[in-house]
Structure 1
């Protein structure tokens, strides 16, 4: 890619970093004081699983109903807080820690990949991102997954320290992340593809590193795989919901989003249900290629058309506070910000292309990861919440665009707006 690394220590960070960190965390803390946590939808499931873990030591709806449908990591983290309090204070604290990690790591990675000022701009965009603020009071996997994904990236190809130690740390962090969402498994592969344009020798090295990271992820996930073997008789890596999710996005009645599972799977075990629905989805795709391709487009639109889930999952208390019109306004603000960031990210790709060539516009870490998470849900099932793992990478690319827009006029002739 030809991007220069910019390594800083805490003492080297500019004053703007600390101001943005104070603002970003302040907004999240103020939101937490204003809006209580109220689990709904998936949040309610995570809460129930966490309570069952604490009360019975079983991950499931009850002591007699073990499950692996949802990944255990989110409920496990929440269960830890329930050891100390029956309130949701621990949930908010965990979300604030995740928010802190997202803010600081977005800055670090943007500065490493592009330039220090791009890091500050990316941090600013994340600090004021409404949806990321709203999720401070939502019991969910989103903030945890984003934070841990970025934490692994901190070590991935880190320009200082022992390369093998950094690689192992990246794999270990992402292995723990797999307990939150197993889709982390192929992130190293997506990152390896970035080096396709850097020649076969460099790509071979990165591909080997990706293979080691994937192996480490699988090894870290092995205890839960063995647990699933004992409970279900089949070694499922983390969760059993891939088949249902694939079917939701690929069947004759699909609109690309969430839908109730068909009644015939009711009596089936989780493994049987997943295998059956996976086979149904594959059969639909083979027999109806035109419809399957059309659904890919539908899911791409559905994934990006709005950003209202942070409002929806806080809606009960928001409505009490600001009424229906206020709730609508919050949805419009959140979606408007999303559209601006989306346009900014695409513009950032153009800016990279103009400075470093068309291949650099597509073969860089933020684009690779944005593309990976997008492709995953375009193939499987899409809702607006599923674009959230791409949020920091979209912010970084939008920061590149802002950097080019705001600072390029000050750049002396012949010098690039961000280092190559």
Structure 2
């Protein structure tokens, strides 16, 4: 590292990290407030309108978790619609709800910073702040009424408490509680619980009681909603009843690796059958699930190939969008550069032998990120659904950049001596 400017920059990062964090925080909030003001009351995506106009308004005005204002439902996971409904009830506008989303993103930035400081990392805490702010899709998503920002916060909090020098009873309980909140926000996170348990078993000798405690504290948070579903519908529904339709959309005759929810054309016949038979949402859920399984059984080679193509698509920098006016070449290029940079940094860490000494924490992040790809591909893989796990990728990339800095900085010190 012969470049004096680069050496000076590293020195500033090393000695002025708190000042940099505060400065970046001011920039973040300035941008968040201005962006939210410019968006006004516009809701650009269909799902935003569902969360706000259907669930949010019905919860606020009628105290009912319902999309039509009359019939209770368990179709969507509850936490984010309930949050919107409560905020509307106490007088929040769309502008205010967006600021809550940005608050969640800011807390994620802060916790990522603190997590890496807890790991005794030198450069990566502030690098992670730069990477999160330099990954604009996170900021963009925080400006939408989507649950991914809140879900990402809960995931990072769970990792924060899970990964400590000593996994105490207190940390296990807190991990489980926030993992439960993440599942009530995004049910796909359910796989994270067995992943945590398996990692605990392989990493060190863990008392069986701690494993039970982690699972129990997770389901303690989920249980009230599951019990509500049982008493209201006389059905066992753990979190939501929309797996079947998503499973079918992700494995229909019209599904491609990258078209995700746009594969509606392949499920229209199944929806018509369900309509003709007057199925309720739970009968539909079972019917759609069975139909998807039958499609896979009838052509296992095609769907086996499609599954691995969807796994590969998990790492894509772009998706086909049904809302065409929200897609553009400039957004794709920006996503290619920012996401591609993190992937390249981590791949270099793997490829260059002397730089690939991964810690157990880094292996944990890698395996969890890869596991999320294989789980997501069961249905379909989309950038929006991947975003909470991209936070783990950012942590990993930050640690990898620090490794490169340390190696080159030490080399420069050796040359000078």
TM over 0.5: yes
Match of residue 71, structure 1, among 58, 69, 77: 77
Q: What does 1:269-418 align with in structure 2 at a 5 Å threshold?
A: 269-307=280-318, 327-350=328-351, 354-356=355-357, 364-411=363-410
- The match for 1:6 is none
Change (3 A) 1:349 1:211: farther
Change (3 A) 1:28 1:67: same
- The match for 1:249 is 250
Match of residue 265, structure 1, among 259, 270, 274: 274
Alpha-carbon contact 1:303-1:387 (below 8 Å) kept: yes
Distance in 2 between the 1:183 and 1:35 partners?
29
Report deviation, 1:283.
Answer: 2.6
- The match for 1:131 is 137
TM-score with structure 2 setting the length: 0.83
After superposition, the C-alpha distances for 1:326-347 in whole angstroms (9 at most, x for unaligned) are x542343234322222323333
Report deviation, 1:307.
Answer: 4.3
Could you tell me which runs of 5 or more consecutive residues in structure 2 were left unpaired when the two chains were aligned: 1-15
Match of residue 22, structure 1, among 22, 26, 46: 26
Change (3 A) 1:24 1:295: same
- The match for 2:182 is 177
Distance in 2 between the 1:126 and 1:32 partners?
19
| Structure 1, 209-218 or 174-183: larger mean CA deviation | 209-218
**Are positions 1:158 and 2:152 aligned together?**
no
- The match for 2:65 is 59
Report deviation, 1:43.
Answer: 1.0
Change (3 A) 1:363 1:407: closer
Alpha-carbon contact 2:112-2:125 (below 8 Å) kept: yes
Report deviation, 1:163.
Answer: 0.9
Distance in 2 between the 1:143 and 1:313 partners?
20
Distance in 1 between the 2:239 and 2:408 partners?
50
Distance in 2 between the 1:210 and 1:227 partners?
26
Distance in 1 between the 2:131 and 2:191 partners?
27
Distance in 2 between the 1:222 and 1:15 partners?
43
| Structure 1, 266-275 or 361-370: larger mean CA deviation | 361-370
Change (3 A) 1:352 1:104: farther
TM-score with structure 1 setting the length: 0.82
| Structure 1, 105-114 or 116-125: larger mean CA deviation | 105-114
Change (3 A) 1:299 1:89: same
Change (3 A) 1:104 1:350: farther
Distance in 1 between the 2:372 and 2:354 partners?
22
Could you tell me which runs of 5 or more consecutive residues in structure 1 were left unpaired when the two chains were aligned: 1-11, 317-323, 416-420
How many residues are aligned here? 387
Alpha-carbon contact 1:37-1:139 (below 8 Å) kept: no
How large is the Cα RMSD of the aligned pairs?
A: 3.1
Alpha-carbon contact 1:38-1:314 (below 8 Å) kept: no
Distance in 1 between the 2:404 and 2:157 partners?
29
Change (3 A) 1:210 1:414: farther
Change (3 A) 1:192 1:86: closer
Alpha-carbon contact 1:185-1:217 (below 8 Å) kept: no
Alpha-carbon contact 1:370-1:394 (below 8 Å) kept: yes
Q: What does 1:221-236 align with in structure 2 at a 5 Å threshold?
A: 221-236=222-237
- The match for 2:55 is 49
